[in-house]
Amino acid sequence: MTRVFQLEVEVGDDCPLIDWERHPAVADAFIQFDALLRDSNHESELMDRLLRLTTQGHRSNEVDAIYLTPGLAVSERAKNALRLLNIPRIRFFPFQLDSARFFVVTTDRIVDCLDHERSQIEYFRSNPTRVKHIRHYAFHLSIIPDPDLFTIPELCDGMFSYSRPLFVTGAVVAALSAAGLQGFRFEQLV
């Protein structure tokens, strides 16, 4: 049976955050980055833009995942471990953090697999078709391959494309854990 996890980051002193309220220039840069990301014809401009983005904080030499507020970035080791799984439509955009190369991770793989009848979903009062929060996840597991890294359409509305929640299957968790990567957290949903 396929197991599904939400891919998260262990946030601590060695996992820096970008605080949008304290760093409005960085926030503006990521907003512009998001607009370019939605148009895949600008990949070279995206690379240049990411190399100019500034991140705040410090990092340990052993951290492989950082939370960008919003979004996820991974080390070269983590990127290589994910690539070995041959999961379609994962994109990596490089940038420098201190002396290390990191990659913003995004996917346009949106799998319509949420079981609305068995999930506990909270909708916006102003728009009862738009999901505000999912308290309990239930999935149609038969349509999720293993390994997989994906997001769901219910959580894509109005979010930056690079900050959508990411879900992974058990094979991805096993591969990232076997690679000895630091900084990931996997919340088992199913």
The per-residue DSSP string of 103-141 comes to EEEEE--B---B-TTTSEEEE-SS-TTSEEEEEE--B-G
Taking a C-beta distance cutoff of 8 angstroms, is the pair 18, 181 a contact?
no
pLDDT of residue 14: 44
Q: pTM for this structure?
A: 0.75
How does pLDDT run across 39-93, given as a tens digit for each residue?
656 555 655 555 444 333 434 456 888 877 567 889 999 999 999 999 999 999 8
- For residues 176, 106, 113, 145, the Cα torsion angle rounded to the nearest 10 degrees is -40
Q: Distance (Å, rounded) from C-alpha 120 to C-alpha 138?
A: 8
Peptide bond between residue 70 and the one before it cis (omega within 30 degrees of 0): yes
The stretches in the chain having pLDDT less than 70 are 11-62, 69-70, 98, 158-163
pLDDT of residue 58: 39
